[in-house]
Amino acid sequence: MSFNPEISIKALLQARKTHTQLASLPEGGIPESWEEMFAIQNGVAHALLGSGYGPIVAWKVGAPKPDGQPFGAAIWNQTFFENVESVNVRDYYKVGVEAEIVYRFGKTFLRRENPYTAEDILAAIATVHPAIELVDTRFVDMGKQTFFINQADQGSHGALIIGKPMENWKTLVPVEEPITLTINGEIRAQHKGGNSAGDTIRGLTWIVNHALESEECVPAGTAVTTGSTTGTIFVEKGSKITAQFEHVGTLSLSLPG
Protein backbone atom coordinates (compact mmCIF):
# COMPACT_ATOMS: atom_id res chain seq x y z
CA MET A 1 0.00 0.00 0.00
CA SER A 2 1.40 3.38 -0.99
CA PHE A 3 1.75 6.10 1.64
CA ASN A 4 -1.15 8.55 1.90
CA PRO A 5 -0.68 11.36 4.45
CA GLU A 6 -4.36 12.34 4.28
CA ILE A 7 -5.30 9.14 6.12
CA SER A 8 -3.23 10.12 9.14
CA ILE A 9 -4.09 13.82 8.93
CA LYS A 10 -7.77 12.90 9.20
CA ALA A 11 -7.13 10.53 12.13
CA LEU A 12 -5.11 13.09 14.10
CA LEU A 13 -7.65 15.85 13.50
CA GLN A 14 -10.48 13.59 14.66
CA ALA A 15 -8.51 12.62 17.78
CA ARG A 16 -8.08 16.29 18.67
CA LYS A 17 -11.72 17.09 17.99
CA THR A 18 -13.09 14.23 20.11
CA HIS A 19 -10.33 14.16 22.76
CA THR A 20 -9.76 10.48 22.11
CA GLN A 21 -6.50 8.56 21.74
CA LEU A 22 -5.20 6.47 18.87
CA ALA A 23 -3.44 3.13 19.22
CA SER A 24 -1.25 4.28 16.32
CA LEU A 25 -1.67 5.90 12.93
CA PRO A 26 -3.78 3.96 10.41
CA GLU A 27 -2.29 1.56 7.89
CA GLY A 28 -1.25 3.37 4.74
CA GLY A 29 -0.58 6.58 6.64
CA ILE A 30 2.35 5.54 8.83
CA PRO A 31 5.35 7.78 8.10
CA GLU A 32 8.69 6.07 7.56
CA SER A 33 10.76 9.06 6.45
CA TRP A 34 11.29 12.72 7.27
CA GLU A 35 9.37 13.73 4.15
CA GLU A 36 6.35 11.60 5.05
CA MET A 37 6.39 12.76 8.67
CA PHE A 38 6.45 16.44 7.70
CA ALA A 39 3.67 15.87 5.14
CA ILE A 40 1.38 14.73 7.97
CA GLN A 41 2.56 17.37 10.42
CA ASN A 42 2.13 20.26 7.97
CA GLY A 43 -1.24 18.94 6.87
CA VAL A 44 -2.52 18.91 10.46
CA ALA A 45 -1.00 22.33 11.20
CA HIS A 46 -2.68 24.00 8.23
CA ALA A 47 -6.01 22.22 8.72
CA LEU A 48 -6.18 23.54 12.29
CA LEU A 49 -5.66 27.11 11.12
CA GLY A 50 -9.27 27.06 9.98
CA SER A 51 -10.51 25.55 13.25
CA GLY A 52 -9.76 28.42 15.58
CA TYR A 53 -6.17 27.38 16.34
CA GLY A 54 -4.35 29.85 14.11
CA PRO A 55 -2.44 31.75 13.15
CA ILE A 56 0.97 30.11 13.56
CA VAL A 57 2.81 32.34 16.04
CA ALA A 58 5.67 30.12 17.16
CA TRP A 59 7.75 27.06 16.31
CA LYS A 60 9.49 24.35 18.30
CA VAL A 61 12.82 22.84 17.39
CA GLY A 62 15.05 20.15 18.84
CA ALA A 63 17.72 17.61 18.01
CA PRO A 64 18.87 14.33 19.62
CA LYS A 65 22.49 15.56 19.88
CA PRO A 66 24.52 18.66 18.95
CA ASP A 67 25.26 17.36 15.44
CA GLY A 68 22.02 15.38 15.00
CA GLN A 69 19.27 16.06 12.48
CA PRO A 70 16.99 18.81 13.85
CA PHE A 71 13.22 18.39 13.94
CA GLY A 72 10.44 20.82 14.69
CA ALA A 73 6.78 21.77 14.44
CA ALA A 74 4.47 24.76 14.20
CA ILE A 75 2.72 26.22 17.26
CA TRP A 76 -0.58 28.05 16.95
CA ASN A 77 -1.99 31.08 18.72
CA GLN A 78 -4.44 28.90 20.66
CA THR A 79 -1.63 26.96 22.35
CA PHE A 80 0.72 29.90 22.94
CA PHE A 81 0.59 31.91 26.19
CA GLU A 82 2.56 34.87 27.55
CA ASN A 83 2.95 35.82 31.21
CA VAL A 84 0.02 33.73 32.45
CA GLU A 85 -0.19 32.05 35.85
CA SER A 86 -2.19 28.98 34.81
CA VAL A 87 -3.12 26.83 31.82
CA ASN A 88 -6.13 24.51 31.91
CA VAL A 89 -5.12 20.94 31.05
CA ARG A 90 -8.56 19.36 31.49
CA ASP A 91 -8.56 17.90 27.98
CA TYR A 92 -4.97 16.62 28.09
CA TYR A 93 -4.54 12.85 27.98
CA LYS A 94 -1.14 13.04 29.68
CA VAL A 95 0.59 16.16 30.97
CA GLY A 96 4.33 16.44 30.40
CA VAL A 97 6.45 19.41 31.48
CA GLU A 98 9.67 20.70 29.90
CA ALA A 99 11.69 23.80 30.86
CA GLU A 100 12.92 25.56 27.71
CA ILE A 101 14.53 28.73 26.39
CA VAL A 102 12.57 30.76 23.84
CA TYR A 103 13.91 33.26 21.32
CA ARG A 104 11.72 35.89 19.68
CA PHE A 105 12.49 37.57 16.38
CA GLY A 106 12.31 41.31 15.80
CA LYS A 107 12.29 41.07 12.01
CA THR A 108 10.40 39.16 9.34
CA PHE A 109 12.07 36.39 7.34
CA LEU A 110 10.76 36.20 3.79
CA ARG A 111 11.05 33.14 1.57
CA ARG A 112 14.14 33.42 -0.63
CA GLU A 113 16.42 31.31 -2.79
CA ASN A 114 19.42 31.21 -0.45
CA PRO A 115 19.00 29.76 3.07
CA TYR A 116 19.31 32.09 6.03
CA THR A 117 22.57 31.80 7.94
CA ALA A 118 23.35 31.76 11.65
CA GLU A 119 24.51 35.37 11.28
CA ASP A 120 21.11 36.32 9.81
CA ILE A 121 19.37 34.66 12.75
CA LEU A 122 21.53 36.32 15.41
CA ALA A 123 20.86 39.72 13.87
CA ALA A 124 17.10 39.12 14.02
CA ILE A 125 16.78 38.05 17.67
CA ALA A 126 14.92 40.64 19.74
CA THR A 127 14.30 38.93 23.10
CA VAL A 128 14.95 35.70 25.02
CA HIS A 129 12.47 34.24 27.52
CA PRO A 130 12.11 31.45 30.09
CA ALA A 131 9.49 28.97 28.95
CA ILE A 132 7.58 25.85 29.82
CA GLU A 133 6.32 23.58 27.08
CA LEU A 134 3.46 21.30 28.01
CA VAL A 135 3.51 17.91 26.32
CA ASP A 136 0.35 16.07 25.30
CA THR A 137 -0.31 13.19 22.94
CA ARG A 138 -2.96 11.90 20.61
CA PHE A 139 -1.82 8.31 21.28
CA VAL A 140 -2.72 5.83 23.99
CA ASP A 141 0.99 5.24 24.59
CA MET A 142 3.33 7.64 22.83
CA GLY A 143 6.28 5.70 24.25
CA LYS A 144 5.41 2.82 21.94
CA GLN A 145 5.23 4.90 18.78
CA THR A 146 8.09 5.46 16.37
CA PHE A 147 9.96 8.75 16.26
CA PHE A 148 8.27 9.68 12.98
CA ILE A 149 4.79 8.95 14.35
CA ASN A 150 5.31 11.05 17.46
CA GLN A 151 6.76 13.90 15.43
CA ALA A 152 3.84 13.73 12.99
CA ASP A 153 1.68 14.58 16.04
CA GLN A 154 3.32 18.05 16.21
CA GLY A 155 6.11 16.60 18.34
CA SER A 156 3.58 15.87 21.12
CA HIS A 157 2.97 19.60 21.58
CA GLY A 158 0.38 20.68 24.12
CA ALA A 159 1.10 24.33 24.88
CA LEU A 160 3.96 26.81 25.09
CA ILE A 161 4.09 29.37 27.89
CA ILE A 162 6.73 32.10 27.95
CA GLY A 163 7.70 34.53 30.69
CA LYS A 164 9.16 38.01 30.70
CA PRO A 165 12.26 38.68 28.56
CA MET A 166 15.68 38.55 30.17
CA GLU A 167 17.93 41.58 30.24
CA ASN A 168 20.98 41.60 27.97
CA TRP A 169 20.33 38.25 26.28
CA LYS A 170 23.62 38.47 24.37
CA THR A 171 25.46 37.43 27.53
CA LEU A 172 23.54 34.13 27.66
CA VAL A 173 25.44 30.86 27.26
CA PRO A 174 22.62 28.29 26.93
CA VAL A 175 24.79 25.18 27.33
CA GLU A 176 26.03 26.52 30.68
CA GLU A 177 22.79 28.09 31.93
CA PRO A 178 21.76 26.67 35.35
CA ILE A 179 18.15 25.45 35.51
CA THR A 180 16.05 24.24 38.44
CA LEU A 181 12.64 22.69 37.75
CA THR A 182 10.35 22.40 40.75
CA ILE A 183 7.06 20.49 40.77
CA ASN A 184 4.71 20.91 43.73
CA GLY A 185 7.62 22.21 45.82
CA GLU A 186 9.93 19.30 44.97
CA ILE A 187 13.06 19.80 42.86
CA ARG A 188 12.82 17.38 39.93
CA ALA A 189 15.72 18.65 37.82
CA GLN A 190 18.72 20.81 38.69
CA HIS A 191 21.79 21.17 36.47
CA LYS A 192 23.53 23.31 33.86
CA GLY A 193 22.51 23.23 30.21
CA GLY A 194 20.65 19.99 29.64
CA ASN A 195 19.49 20.57 26.06
CA SER A 196 20.45 17.56 23.93
CA ALA A 197 20.60 19.81 20.85
CA GLY A 198 23.48 21.86 22.25
CA ASP A 199 23.89 25.21 20.50
CA THR A 200 20.50 26.90 20.20
CA ILE A 201 21.49 29.06 17.22
CA ARG A 202 21.94 25.97 15.06
CA GLY A 203 18.36 24.94 15.81
CA LEU A 204 17.01 28.44 15.26
CA THR A 205 18.69 28.61 11.87
CA TRP A 206 17.32 25.25 10.81
CA ILE A 207 13.74 25.94 11.91
CA VAL A 208 13.53 29.29 10.09
CA ASN A 209 14.64 27.69 6.82
CA HIS A 210 12.38 24.68 7.43
CA ALA A 211 9.36 26.89 8.17
CA LEU A 212 9.86 28.78 4.93
CA GLU A 213 9.43 25.55 2.97
CA SER A 214 5.71 25.63 3.85
CA GLU A 215 5.10 29.27 4.86
CA GLU A 216 5.46 32.48 2.89
CA CYS A 217 7.28 34.14 5.78
CA VAL A 218 8.27 33.90 9.42
CA PRO A 219 6.83 37.16 10.77
CA ALA A 220 8.46 39.51 13.24
CA GLY A 221 7.30 38.54 16.72
CA THR A 222 7.51 34.81 16.02
CA ALA A 223 8.79 32.83 19.01
CA VAL A 224 10.92 29.68 18.79
CA THR A 225 11.36 27.28 21.68
CA THR A 226 14.67 25.50 21.37
CA GLY A 227 14.24 22.15 23.11
CA SER A 228 13.92 20.78 26.61
CA THR A 229 16.64 21.49 29.17
CA THR A 230 15.12 19.03 31.63
CA GLY A 231 13.68 16.18 29.59
CA THR A 232 9.96 15.48 29.80
CA ILE A 233 8.58 15.05 33.30
CA PHE A 234 4.99 13.82 33.50
CA VAL A 235 2.84 15.39 36.22
CA GLU A 236 -0.66 15.15 37.62
CA LYS A 237 -3.32 17.66 36.66
CA GLY A 238 -3.47 20.37 39.30
CA SER A 239 0.31 20.50 39.71
CA LYS A 240 2.29 23.69 40.24
CA ILE A 241 5.47 24.14 38.21
CA THR A 242 8.39 26.54 38.53
CA ALA A 243 11.19 26.72 35.97
CA GLN A 244 14.03 28.85 37.33
CA PHE A 245 16.88 29.79 35.00
CA GLU A 246 19.74 31.64 36.68
CA HIS A 247 19.97 34.36 34.03
CA VAL A 248 17.03 33.86 31.66
CA GLY A 249 14.46 34.22 34.45
CA THR A 250 11.78 32.34 36.34
CA LEU A 251 8.36 31.14 35.21
CA SER A 252 5.75 29.66 37.54
CA LEU A 253 2.59 27.93 36.34
CA SER A 254 -0.36 26.04 37.78
CA LEU A 255 -2.13 23.38 35.75
CA PRO A 256 -5.79 23.13 36.77
CA GLY A 257 -7.69 20.29 35.16
Mean pLDDT of the chain: 96
**Does position 122 have pLDDT exceeding 80, yes or no?**
yes
pLDDT, residue 54, reads 85
pLDDT 10s digits, 193-212: 999 999 999 999 999 999 99
- DSSP secondary structure of the chain: ----HHHHHHHHHHHHHHT--BSSPPTT----SHHHHHHHHHHHHHHHHTTT--SEEEEEEE-SSTTSPPEEEEEEGGGEEES-SB---TT-SSEEEEEEEEEEESSPEEP-SSPPPHHHHHHHEEEEEEEEEEE--SBS-GGGS-HHHHHHTGGGEEEEEE-PPPS-GGG--GGG-EEEEEETTEEEEEEE---TT--HHHHHHHHHHHHTTTSSEE-TT-EEEEEESS--EEE-TT-EEEEEETTTEEEEEE---
Whether pTM exceeds 0.75: yes
Could you give the domains of the chain?
5-254 (3.90.850.10)
**Does position 173 have pLDDT exceeding 90, yes or no?**
yes
**Does position 257 have pLDDT exceeding 90, yes or no?**
no
**Does position 1 have pLDDT exceeding 80, yes or no?**
no
